Amino acid sequence: MIFRILTPILLGLSLLPFATQAALVTYNNEVDLIANGGAQTRYDFETASGFPTGDYDPTLSLIGNFDGIQFNATTISPSAPTSGSQAMSGENGTYTAASLDFSGLSQRITGFGLYGLDLKNGLALTPDEFIRINVDFRLGDSQTFDIRLGSAPNLTPIYFAAYDAEDSIRSLSIFGIDDGGNNRGWYIDDLTLMSAAVPLPPALSLFLGGLVLLGRFCSKREMESPAA
């Protein structure tokens, strides 16, 4: 009797979303990102941190799996990293895309921050260049963000961060491009990842509590019912 009652309820509730996406917040400085609290990990891409020696030959500097993250990216030794002597760039060189896959982690990535730099040649007629970041969220589908150098001098570090406490980021794709749609050289440095434990869906505890109460109610009714 109890299962006959619970089955349609379970099927109906299984169609309802247990979580909704909170507002995505973006930042242009590191202080505001870190102020959200939670676990934070910074990757400076230096050999002292365990990364391969930066080389413009991608076969020598492919990062691969690092801390459970799949870095389809390389380290390089550019002329002006934001810290240390190395940075991260595309999987097959500075004119190609890089990707980071977080699916192997036990915790969820709630946000990221980084310094982006382009490699424009400084000529006045050079099209405006930017670093494009495609972000694959679990709840919010995909978002695209552009880090533009604009009129700033060549190799000026531009900070960008995105954070959503209620969602999780599954992967990042990063590449350089200009206003004409051409691939351009780029790199990033000092990548910060914000992470949190994987929570129960917000409505799940209420749902389970309701099932317990319903089960007790049905059991009581069956005990009170006269035998056939």
> Which pLDDT tens digit goes with each residue over 18-29?
444 458 999 999
Domain that holds residue 28: 23-199
Residue 8 lies in a domain: no
Choose between 68 and 155: higher pLDDT: 68
| Coil, helix or strand at residue 124 | coil
Residue 106 lies in a domain: yes
What CATH number is given to the structural domain containing 27? 2.60.120
Residue 208 lies in a domain: no
Residue 103 has pLDDT above 80, yes or no: yes
> Strand pairing of 158-163 and 25-27?
antiparallel
- Alpha carbon distance 125, 127 (integer Å): 6
Give this prediction's pTM: 0.77
Residue 79 lies in a domain: yes
Question: What pLDDT is stored for residue 119 in this prediction?
Answer: 72
Residue 213 CB neighbour total at 10 angstroms:
9
- Alpha carbon distance 25, 198 (integer Å): 20
| Coil, helix or strand at residue 134 | strand
How many domains, in total, are found in the chain? 1
Residue 16 lies in a domain: no
Tens of pLDDT, residue by residue over 183-227, are: 999 999 999 999 998 764 554 444 445 555 555 645 555 555 555
Question: What pLDDT is stored for residue 80 in this prediction?
Answer: 85
Residue 209 lies in a domain: no
Residue 110 has pLDDT above 50, yes or no: yes
Residue 3 CB neighbour total at 10 angstroms:
8
* pLDDT band at residue 173 under the 50/70/90 scheme: very high
Residue 12 lies in a domain: no
- Alpha carbon distance 101, 70 (integer Å): 5
- Alpha carbon distance 186, 64 (integer Å): 19
Residue 223 lies in a domain: no
Residues 100 and 107 sit within 8 Å (Cβ to Cβ): no
